[in-house]
Copies of this chain bind each other. A is one copy, B any other.
């Protein structure tokens, strides 16, 4: 198979970067993959487990000569990462990222990039509750969407090459404008995460319901919330701070709707509740039909 890029540099070596590395190796996709992480501990771990062909101690060394540079750092660290790599980028290279927010990343990264370097932001919609260099695996992106979010003036060849790269990592790809991306993700990911974090925090606060009871009897519902609320704190802090307006707007609508349902409970309006729950049930079927989840018994989880 011909390589999409002869040399790929991964800046930041957490769940996404490590999964990209293993998926590239699985597909025989890049000639050489270099890596850099800000923390010495992460670089040591990467070297120990063979994550990246070479791990460098500076971002500039890692990106030197790279045809594709992927910024895999939290959204709040994009600006400084872009500053570090900018002087070392090869002419004609493509810079991309994997951030969950796109407008803020574009504002942070684009101003630092030299002429003659292509910038094609992207966002793979894949993750687990785990983080760090040991958490990656080659199958993470299989059948998941990767949204390609070109900026004004993005080179069509650079865009198309990055699309094929993500497809070879296992993803389906689609293109989306930055602001639209941020609104869609506020609904499908950012607001749900904040809500899950909140509910788990509330449960933790309740002294009347002891810790062990909440944990033992977590059942469906709360258990699913805890899985979401176990996601990386730094990543999610940065998401909320950088997609503030869209997230707050969705949370406002959520609160309005929650109050309406609370009122129905208080008043005993069973018809309203039943109609509402029937409508939301139908959406689930659409998601399964779209191949974005399984309806296996026990939610497809293995028994533990």
Cβ contact of A277, chosen from B187, B189, B197, B257, cutoff 8 A: B197
Residue A44 CB within 8 A of the other chain = no
Residue from the set A142, A237, A257, A301 with the largest chain B CB neighbour count within 10 Å:
A237
Residues of B contacting A209 with CB < 8 Å? 183-184, 187
Q: How many residues of chain A are within 8 Å of chain B by beta carbon?
A: 114
Residue A290 CB within 8 A of the other chain = yes
In the complex, A225→B281 CA distance in Å? 11
Contact with B along A282-304 (1 / 0, CB 8 A): 01111110111111111111111
In the complex with contacts A200-B280, A202-B187, A125-B217 CB distance below 8 A: yes
B290, A129: Cβ atoms closer than 8 Å: no
Interface members, chain A 137-172 (any B CB < 8 Å)? 137, 139-140, 142-143, 145, 147
Contact with B along A95-118 (1 / 0, CB 8 A): 000000000000000000000000
Contact with B along A197-208 (1 / 0, CB 8 A): 111111111101
- Among the 9-residue stretches A1-9, A23-31, A52-60, A240-248, the one with 4 or more Cβ atoms under 8 Å from chain B is A240-248
Contact with B along A253-286 (1 / 0, CB 8 A): 1110111011001101010011011111101111
Q: How far is the CB of A248 from chain B (nearest CB, A)?
A: 6
Copies held by the complex: 2
Residues of B contacting A185 with CB < 8 Å? 217, 219
Contact with B along A217-246 (1 / 0, CB 8 A): 111111111111111011011101100100
In the complex, A203→B276 CA distance in Å? 13
Residue A43 CB within 8 A of the other chain = no
Measuring CB to CB, which residues of chain A are less than 8 angstroms from any residue of chain B?
Answer: 76, 125-130, 137, 139-140, 142-143, 145, 147, 174, 183-185, 187-206, 208-209, 211-231, 233-234, 236-238, 240-241, 244, 247-248, 250-251, 253-255, 257-259, 261-262, 265-266, 268, 270, 273-274, 276-281, 283-288, 290-304
| 17 residue pairs A–B, Cβ–Cβ below 8 Å | A147-B217, A187-B214, A192-B199, A195-B195, A198-B254, A198-B257, A201-B257, A204-B283, A215-B287, A227-B284, A230-B284, A230-B285, A233-B273, A233-B281, A248-B262, A291-B304, A300-B302
